[in-house]
Amino acid sequence: MTLFRNSIFFLLALLLAVPAQAGHHDEGPVKPAIVLAAFGTSYPEAVKSILNIQAKVEAANPGVPVRLAFTSNIIRRIWQKRQDDAAWKTAHADIPEEVLYVKHPLATIADLQNDGYRDVTVQSLHVFAGEEFNDLVALTDGLKAIRTLKAKNMPFARLAVGRPALGMPGTEYPYTEDMARAAKILKVDVDQARRLGAALVYMGHGNDFFSTGIYAEFQKILQSEYGYPIFIGCVEGYPAFDDMAAQLKRAGKKKVLLKPFMIVAGDHASNDMAGDEDDSWKVMLTKQGYSVTTDLRGLGMLDGWADIYVDHLKDAMAEGPAK
């Protein structure tokens, strides 16, 4: 009888122990993932700039999935049309499937969460904290505001956004320090301009609805760093082409090295900057008497610039849980 009673107690203890180990749906440690959110580009050659940054991020975060996302609705639609174009895909077989099927950051984050990744860091690949970056922050703030009845059902344990290359307002990471670092990385461009005996002119994207004074401030930092005629103009916003051209004229240089101040050398760089139409910067500067050399290389192709995003991502990954 004692043996039977002991056997019953042992069996009950064993049954009670099983739920304690497996009945609470313990998913183990929270899995991290990274989203690289760029404005995007429809130019296959320009994609290399984004892929260079992705490779740097992957090397710095082994074992952590790194996904690409494009914030531009127009650019994503272009890639979506190419998905069913067999001839285009054959002609561009080197384009990764992830680019061909690129999604909005919201969809990319949702896919990762659905796959069990609840610690997500979104690294902005924008140049400065403008309209696109602020929309990205608003998106993640909305997701972090989700509140479930039970804490365990919260979609994210942590969700953070890494600041753009030229930093952002705030005291934790002074943007002036970010800009000083970025200026030093552009020494390779200044050296190229010196060899040509040319003024260095950058075309930035800018924005009509968001202050782009950061470009003028960064221009001042570049000029102070190198003591050389370096100017920045924007496709949209301030300083516009005419603002830049007036300063360039006072510099007295007869030659110009024209480069994109954008992550990728896509449509704006190929057409608005270096195109043959009358309203391209190259043509307009040529008509003003300058000898113009164009260099179609996006900032993302500079390893030092890619490293900025790697380090800004590291800072964002160190932030606390979603609030």
Indicate if 293 and 308 belong to the same structural domain: no
Residue 4 has pLDDT above 50, yes or no: no
Question: Has residue 319 got a pLDDT over 90?
Answer: no
**149 with 48, same domain?**
yes
Task: Verify that 121 and 268 share a domain, yes or no.
Answer: no
Average pLDDT, whole number, for the chain?
91
The b/e string for 120-146 (b: 16+ C-beta within 10 A; e otherwise) is bbbbbbbbbbbbbbeebeebbeebbee
pLDDT band at 17 (very low <50, low <70, confident <90, very high): very low
* pLDDT recorded at residue 89: 95
Give the three-class secondary structure for 302: coil
Count structural domains, the chain: 2
pLDDT score for 8: 39
Contact in structure between 68 and 101 (CB atoms under 8 Å): no
- What's the pLDDT score for residue 322? 58
The domain of 221 spans: 187-298
In a domain, 177, yes or no: no
Same domain flag for 135 and 267: no
- Both 135 and 37 in one domain: the answer is yes
Is residue 18 included in any domain, yes or no? no
Tell me: do 147 and 278 sit in the same domain. Answer: no
d(Cα 125, Cα 79) in Å, to the nearest integer? 19
Is residue 121, in this structure, part of any structural domain at all? yes
Q: Is residue 92 part of a domain?
A: yes
User: Is the Cβ–Cβ distance between 200 and 257 less than 8 Å?
Assistant: yes
* Residue 8 resides in a domain: no
CA 234 – CA 222 distance, rounded (Å): 16
Share of the chain above pLDDT 70, in %: 91
In 10 A of CB 165, how many CB atoms? Answer: 23
Question: Looking at the structure, do residues 163 and 43 belong to the same domain, yes or no?
Answer: yes
Q: Is residue 71 part of a domain?
A: yes
User: Which residues fall within 8 angstroms of residue 51, CB to CB, at 6 or more apart?
Assistant: 96, 99
Looking at the structure, tell me whether residues 152 and 247 fall in a common domain.
Answer: no
pLDDT tens column, 99-137: 999 999 999 999 999 999 999 999 999 999 999 999 999
48-79 tens-digit pLDDT: 999 999 999 999 999 999 999 999 999 999 99
Is residue 17 included in any domain, yes or no?
Answer: no
Q: What is the CATH number of the domain that holds 45?
A: 3.40.50.1400
Statement to judge: residues 248 and 266 lie in one domain: yes
Q: Which residues contact 177 (CB under 8 A, 6 or more apart)?
A: 167
Are 309 and 238 contained in the same domain?
A: no
Give per-residue pLDDT as tens, 215-255. Answer: 999 999 999 999 999 999 999 999 999 999 999 999 999 99
Are 192 and 167 within one domain? no
At residue 90, the pLDDT reads: 96
Q: How large a percentage of the chain has pLDDT more than 90?
A: 86
Same domain, 106 and 162: yes
pLDDT at position 27 is 62
In a domain, 88, yes or no: yes
Across 2-24, average pLDDT? 41
Q: Please name the residue that has the structure tokens 């082994």.
A: 62
Report pLDDT for 323.
Answer: 59
